[in-house]
Amino acid sequence: MRLCQFDSPGHNGPAVGVRSVAGNVIPLESLLREHGEGVPTDSVCSMVEFMEGCHAGRFSLAMLRGWVEKLTAAEESRFALDIERLHLRAPVTTPPKFFAVAINGRANWDRSIKPPNPTAQYFIKLRTCLTGPYDPVEIPDIGSVGPEVELALIIGRPGKNIPVTAATEHIFGYTIHNDLTAHALRERSEWIKLRRKDGSEQHLTYPGRWKNFDTFSPMGPWLVTADEIPDPHALNLWAKLNGELVQQGNSRDVVFRAPELIAYLSQAHTLEVGDIISLGTVPPVEPWTMASIDLRLHGGMIEAGIEGLGALRNPIVRI
């Protein structure tokens, strides 16, 4: 199934919708009002609340799928919203935690200097980075800022110390994430060298400011449930700047796959419903480099797509 969040005049915040067979958006509230006996319609004001309800057993994806598939033409015309007229938000706007995996592409990993028995590298993104799949991305005058198209998974079942063999049971679904990165800011000012008493130096950098400006995480348009993606590591990813291909790759070419990441992250952090894990990006297309795909310099439109999930199309706004 394909779920989304959209602005609704009748809600103080986003509403949850499901795509119908005809391609329209059906508000979940309407389906609950029509078919969900005993389920309060205000119990699913957000995607996280809906996923929590599924985990708690108040309703299920199978139940929702049945309602959608049995929609009559009259019901569809009564409930359906034209997606072209909706303002879509990120599928999850209030994740408890937002993990982004770094250096997870095979090419970068293989040429990196690593400690013995290396583990996955990751950082935390702020939820204020999140913006909708067609909203403008705002690029300050901070030097080169580029796209990083990534597959992201959404946790639907909480857990701690999750074994690799059970990890996929905790995935609710997948979406597209464009992890905008301020390359120049990282190189120019977002670092420090620690000089020790023995004269040695250690270069330190933390992905805080240069990964976390507002709007630096366009996401969506759909949260595609896990049953529709039998193998998340067999998907083509791409990004285009003003129609020109600038990134291309496949999700098979990651070092740490989804089950391994879920298991590893859950050793340190209790995973909660609505947590986002973004799996890392794909290489640039020659002659482009990651730093030369400069959104502020080129302006226009940045697109990011994943096979089977759709595409983001975000206008670039210089601020």
pTM of the predicted structure, to 2 decimals: 0.93
**Which of 57, 89, 121 is the endpoint of a domain?**
89
| pLDDT tier, 37 (very low <50, low <70, confident <90, very high otherwise) | low
pLDDT reported for residue 289: 92
pLDDT reported for residue 223: 98
Mean of the pLDDT values across residues 257-262? 97
Looking from the CA of 207 toward its CB, the CA atoms found within 13 Å total 18
Query: Cα–Cα distance between 319 and 140 in angstroms, integer?
Result: 5
pLDDT in tens, 15-25: 999 998 888 89
Same domain, 104 and 83: no
Same domain, 143 and 268: yes
Residue with tokens 């940045």: 302
What percent of the chain has pLDDT above 70?
96
Evaluate if residue 41 carries a pLDDT over 60: no
Query: Cα–Cα distance between 276 and 177 in angstroms, integer?
Result: 10
CATH number of the domain bearing residue 295? 3.90.850.10
Quick one: CA dihedral 75, 77, 79, 84, positive or negative?
positive
Same domain, 213 and 247: yes
User: Domain total for the chain?
Assistant: 2
Same domain, 78 and 132: no
Q: Which is more confident, 42 or 88?
A: 88
Q: With residue 49 as reference, give the H or E element that holds it.
A: helix 47-56
pLDDT reported for residue 34: 78
Same domain, 185 and 105: yes
Mean of the pLDDT values across residues 134-148? 96
pLDDT reported for residue 68: 87
Same domain, 214 and 104: yes
Same domain, 68 and 119: no
Evaluate if residue 11 carries a pLDDT over 70: no
pLDDT reported for residue 6: 94
DSSP label at 274?
T
Same domain, 257 and 230: yes
Mean of the pLDDT values across residues 269-296? 95
Q: Which of 33-37, 60-64, 80-84, 156-160 has the lowest mean pLDDT?
A: 33-37
Helix 61-69 to helix 28-35 angle (10° resolution) is 90
| pLDDT tier, 10 (very low <50, low <70, confident <90, very high otherwise) | low
Residue 192 sits in which domain range?
98-318
What percent of the chain has pLDDT above 90?
70
Same domain, 110 and 82: no
